[in-house]
């Protein structure tokens, strides 16, 4: 299947910081843009038919799973790329799942302002501490 983008989607196009949907951190956004300028092969544009096909196939497989391992989802309240309203559906399906919604955060949580990154990393390390075994050190 050709990897053409879906209707109304297109290749990567630079967006000014003031209009970006990824981060509130101007320096991290500018670093991301600089990386894309230096390495154009990393640039992500709109959704392709190939990406959509793979995503739908993965979702069908995931729907069949019975997961018992702990899962912690950290979602951005201001995300306009991923619909975080679907996250409670995941917790309903798999009872060992929890969700933490980060206020004032956009899509790229680890590219965000320090206060948001700190909250995300605190959530991560707190969750990791609950699933790591003290006996093995892992």
**For the whole prediction, is pTM greater than 0.85?**
no
What dihedral angle (degrees, nearest 10) is formed by the CA atoms of 39, 40, 43, 46? Answer: 180
Alpha carbon distance 37, 12 (integer Å): 11
- Residues 79 and 42 sit within 8 Å (Cβ to Cβ): no
How far is Cα 6 from Cα 8, in angstroms, rounded to an integer? 6
pLDDT in tens, 21-31: 999 999 999 99
Low-confidence ranges of the chain (pLDDT < 50): 1-2
């Amino acid at each position: 299947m050709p990897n053409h983008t879906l209707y109304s989607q297109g290749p990567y196009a630079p967006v000014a910081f003031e209009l970006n949907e990824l981060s509130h951190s101007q320096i991290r956004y500018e670093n991301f843009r600089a990386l894309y300028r230096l390495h154009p092969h990393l640039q992500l544009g709109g959704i392709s038919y190939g990406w959509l096909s793979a995503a739908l196939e993965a979702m069908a497989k995931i729907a069949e799973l019975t997961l018992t391992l702990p899962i912690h989802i950290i979602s951005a309240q201001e995300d306009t790329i991923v619909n975080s309203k679907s996250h409670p559906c995941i917790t309903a399906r798999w009872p060992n799942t929890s969700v933490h919604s980060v206020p004032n955060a956009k899509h790229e949580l680890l590219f965000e302002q320090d206060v948001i990154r700190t909250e995300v990393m605190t959530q991560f390390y707190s969750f990791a501490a609950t699933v790591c075994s003290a006996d093995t050190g892992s």
